Amino acid sequence: MSASNADRSADLPRAAFGPARKSPRRFRLAAGLAGSALVLLALAFLGTGFAYGPYETGVSGGASDAPDGAVSGPAADLTKARSDLLARLQKLAPRGLYIVIDQTHNRLYLREKERALLDAVCSCGSGIVLSHGTKEWVFDTPPGIFRVNQKIEDPVWRKPDWAFIEEGKPVPRDASERFEYDMMGEYALGFGNSYFIHGTLYERLLGRSVTHGCIRLGRADLRELYRQAHVGTPIYIF
Amino acid sequence: MWEHPSTSSSDGLPAPEPAAGGSKARRRFRRASIVLVFGAVLVAVAAFLHRSSGEGEEPRADAPPPADLRRDAAASLLSGKFFYVVLDPEARSLRLMLKGAFLEEYPVEEIRVGSPRVLFRPSKGSDDWSFRVWSDGRLDPPRVQKRIEFTPPDSALALDSLQPALPIPPTAEEAYRVPPVYRIRYQEGLTLVVESSADSTGQGTFSRKEIVRSRAEERLRALRASLSNEGPRVLLRMKAENAQRFYRSLPGESFFLVTPPRPAPAEPRSSGNR
C-alpha cells in the first residue's frame, strides 16, 4: 500500500471506505447484468411461443406441395379416413324434419335439411338438486338423441312424488289426487323416459331454465310444433 | 493485487483501493461476470433447442396412435354418443353436429395456424393436424355448472299456484362469464384458441383489464406449449357474441375435425357459337 493512500485512509472516517464507496459501482455492475439478463429473457420470451399464419384451404403446414391441395403418404390415408367418416356420418343424418334443443340458451328449432322451420324460445331443465331425506332428484334435461314417442292432446299431468315434496306437501296415497289439469297446455310430445315437450302456465319464464327436465314452449310455438312433428321425429338435445 | 473492501488491512482499517491495479481488476471481474451470464444464457438456449428438436420428432407418449384413433373416433361418432365440431374453412364456420345432424352454427371470422418456435427458431410442429380427428375436447377455463341445492320446506305452505316452488337459476349469460380468449384442448394435443375479435371486444363486452389478462394468459400458455411440444395450436377469431355462444353451448368431451376442401367445380365446356 502506498504512503499517500495510507494517509488518506487515516484522514477519512471508516464509513467513507469500503462498501460505502464501492456499492454504487457494484450496484451499477449488478444492475447492468440484471438489465442484460432481463433484455435477454424478454427476447427469449418474444421469440418463443407460436407464430400464427393464415390457414390455407386444403394445405396444412406443408403437408401438401400440390397446388390443388392434393396430399400423399400418411396424410392421404388420414384424409381418406376423414372423408369416409364424414360420408358415413352424413348417411346417418335425419332425412326429414328433426327437432334441435339448445338447453343452454333455451331455444328449440324445428329443422329440415339444416333449414330452421321454427325457431322458438323454450324452457329447459333447471339443474336444481332437490334433496329430501335419503332421496335426491336432479332436474336436468338429458342431452343426446331421442325420438317423439307419443303425441297427446289436452295432456293431464300425473304429479310425481317430487312435485309434492318440493312444495312441502305430503305425498298422497290416493292416485286421483295426483292429477292436474291444464298445467301442460294444449299438447304434449313425449320423448325418452317420461319427458315431454309441452305448454306452460308460466309463459313469462320462457327463455329461462326452470323446468324439472321437460321442455316448455309457448302456446303458438307448441301448436306449430305439434302440427308438423310426428311420432318418430328425431330430437337432438345439446 | 486488489483486495476486497471487506478485507481488513494490517492497521485494522479496510484497505483502500489501489488506483490503477483496481480498475484493471474491476474490468476483469466485470468481463468475467458478463461471460458467465452469457454462458448461462447460451446453455439455456442450447437446452431449449435440444429439447424442442428432440421431442418434436417423437410422438407424445400419452397420445394414442393415429390408426387406433381413427378407428375409435369413427366408432364413437357413428354411435351418436358424442357431439363433434366440424370446422369448415371455406364456409368460415364451426358446426356443432351429432350423428350427422346439424345442430348449431358459429361463424368464424379468421382461422390462423400456429407454428411453434423456441427463441425465434421454428420447432417441429404437426403438419397433419387438419387431416386428423381430435377427441375429448375440454374447455379451458372450464365451464363449471353451479347447481342450486334445494331443500323443501318442512310443513305445507300455502303456495301461490302461479308461482313456481323452486328458485329460478341464472341464465347462461349470467352464470358463465366467458373470457375474451379461451381454449379447447383435445386429448391428442390439439388446442383451439378462440379469440373474440377486436372490433367486437370494444363494445363494452369485456373490460380492458379482462382483455389484457386473458391475452397475457394465452401468451404464457403458448410459451409453455411450445417448450413442451404440447401439440398444434389453431386460432379461431370470432365475434364476441358467437365466441360466447360457442363457449356456453359446447358439450363436454366433444370431437373436432376439419372438412376436406371441396373439389373445384369443373370448367364449363366451350360450346362455340351456334
Grid coordinates of A178 = 295426483
Handedness of CA A103, A108, A110, A116 (dihedral sign): negative
How many angstroms separate the CA atoms of A103 and A84, rounded? 31
Chain B residues within an 8 Å CB radius of A90? 100
Number of domains chain A is built from = 1
Chain B residues within an 8 Å CB radius of A51? 114-115, 117, 122
Do residues B34 and B110 share a domain? Answer: no
Q: What is the pLDDT of residue A61?
A: 41
> Angle between the B208-228 and B19-56 helix axes, to the nearest 10 degrees?
80
Answer with the one of B20, B43, B58 that is the final residue of a domain.
B58
Q: Residue A229 is part of a domain; what is its CATH number?
A: 2.40.440.10
Grid coordinates of B27 = 474490468
How many angstroms separate the CA atoms of B102 and B61, rounded? 35
Residues A236, B101: C-beta atoms closer than 8 Å? yes
Please give the residue that has the higher pLDDT: either A30 or B47.
A30
**Could you say which residues from 109 to 138 on chain B have a Cβ atom under 8 Å away from some Cβ of chain A?**
110-122, 125-133
Q: Quick: pLDDT tens for B52-96.
A: 444 444 444 455 555 555 567 788 899 999 999 999 999 999 999
Q: What is the pLDDT of residue B32?
A: 72
Residue B5: band (very low, low, confident or very high) from pLDDT cuts 50, 70, 90: very low
Residues B33, A33: C-beta atoms closer than 8 Å? yes
Q: What is the pLDDT of residue A13?
A: 52
Identify whether A130 is part of a domain. Answer: yes
Identify whether A102 is part of a domain. Answer: yes
Identify whether A195 is part of a domain. Answer: yes
CA-nearest residue to B232 within chain A is A50
Q: What is the pLDDT of residue B43?
A: 59
Q: Quick: pLDDT tens for B141-183.
A: 999 988 999 988 765 554 555 555 678 999 999 999 999 999 9
Identify whether A180 is part of a domain. Answer: yes
Q: Are B170 and A128 in contact (CB under 8 A)?
A: no
Identify whether B267 is part of a domain. Answer: no
In this model, does residue B204 exceed pLDDT 70? no
Closest CA to A125 of A187, A192, A178: A192
Q: What is the pLDDT of residue A58?
A: 52
How many angstroms separate the CA atoms of A226 and A233, rounded? 11
Chain A residues within an 8 Å CB radius of B66? 74, 78
Grid coordinates of A77 = 390415408
Q: What is the pLDDT of residue A70?
A: 56
Do residues B99 and B4 share a domain? Answer: no
Identify whether A107 is part of a domain. Answer: yes
State which residues form the domain around B48. Answer: 1-58
Identify whether A137 is part of a domain. Answer: yes
Q: What are the residues whose beta carbons fall under 8 Å from the beta carbon of A28, sequence distance 6 or more?
A: none
Q: Does B260 touch chain A (CB under 8 A)?
A: yes
> What are the beta bridge partners of residue A120?
A108
Please give the residue that has the higher pLDDT: either B203 or B258.
B258
Identify whether B220 is part of a domain. Answer: yes
Identify whether A105 is part of a domain. Answer: yes
Residue B115: band (very low, low, confident or very high) from pLDDT cuts 50, 70, 90: confident
Identify whether B168 is part of a domain. Answer: no
Number of domains chain B is built from = 2
Grid coordinates of A42 = 424478454
Identify whether B149 is part of a domain. Answer: no
Residue B139: band (very low, low, confident or very high) from pLDDT cuts 50, 70, 90: very high
Do residues B5 and B136 share a domain? Answer: no
Q: What is the pLDDT of residue A63?
A: 43
Cα dihedral angle (A135, A141, A142, A143), rounded to 10 degrees? -150
Identify whether A186 is part of a domain. Answer: yes
Do residues B48 and B72 share a domain? Answer: no
- For the residues B198-216, what does the mean pLDDT come to? 78
Do residues B81 and B213 share a domain? Answer: yes
Do residues B106 and B140 share a domain? Answer: yes
- Most confident of the ranges B21-25, B117-121, B186-190, B205-209: B186-190
Identify whether B119 is part of a domain. Answer: yes
Do residues B35 and B76 share a domain? Answer: no
State which residues form the domain around A135. Answer: 97-237
> What are the beta bridge partners of residue B25?
none
Side chain identity at A144, as an amino acid letter? Answer: G
Q: Distance (Å) from the C-alpha of residue B273 to the closest C-alpha of chain A?
A: 32
Do residues B207 and B79 share a domain? Answer: yes
Do residues B121 and B203 share a domain? Answer: yes
Residue of B8, B105, B113, B215 for testing the chain A interface, max A β-carbons within 10 Å:
B113
Q: What is the pLDDT of residue B154?
A: 67
Q: What is the pLDDT of residue B14?
A: 44
Do residues B46 and B86 share a domain? Answer: no
Identify whether B274 is part of a domain. Answer: no
Q: Could you list the pLDDT tens digit for every one of the 238 residues in chain A?
A: 444 554 554 455 554 455 555 577 778 888 888 888 888 888 777 888 888 888 876 544 434 444 455 556 667 777 788 888 889 999 999 999 999 999 999 999 999 988 999 999 999 999 999 998 899 999 999 999 999 999 999 999 999 999 999 888 889 999 999 999 989 999 999 999 999 999 999 899 999 999 999 999 999 999 999 999 999 999 999 9
Q: What is the pLDDT of residue B195?
A: 95
Handedness of CA B25, B28, B34, B36 (dihedral sign): negative
Q: What is the pLDDT of residue B246?
A: 97
Do residues B90 and B184 share a domain? Answer: yes
Do residues B2 and B121 share a domain? Answer: no
Answer with the one of B32, B58, B84 that is the final residue of a domain.
B58
Identify whether B161 is part of a domain. Answer: no
Cα three-residue angle B215-B216-B220, rounded to 5 degrees: 115
Chain B residues within an 8 Å CB radius of A48? 48, 117-120, 223, 226-227
- For the residues B16-38, what does the mean pLDDT come to? 66
Grid coordinates of A71 = 396430399
Q: What is the pLDDT of residue A71?
A: 59
Chain A residues within an 8 Å CB radius of B64? none
Per the prediction, chain B carries an average pLDDT of: 77
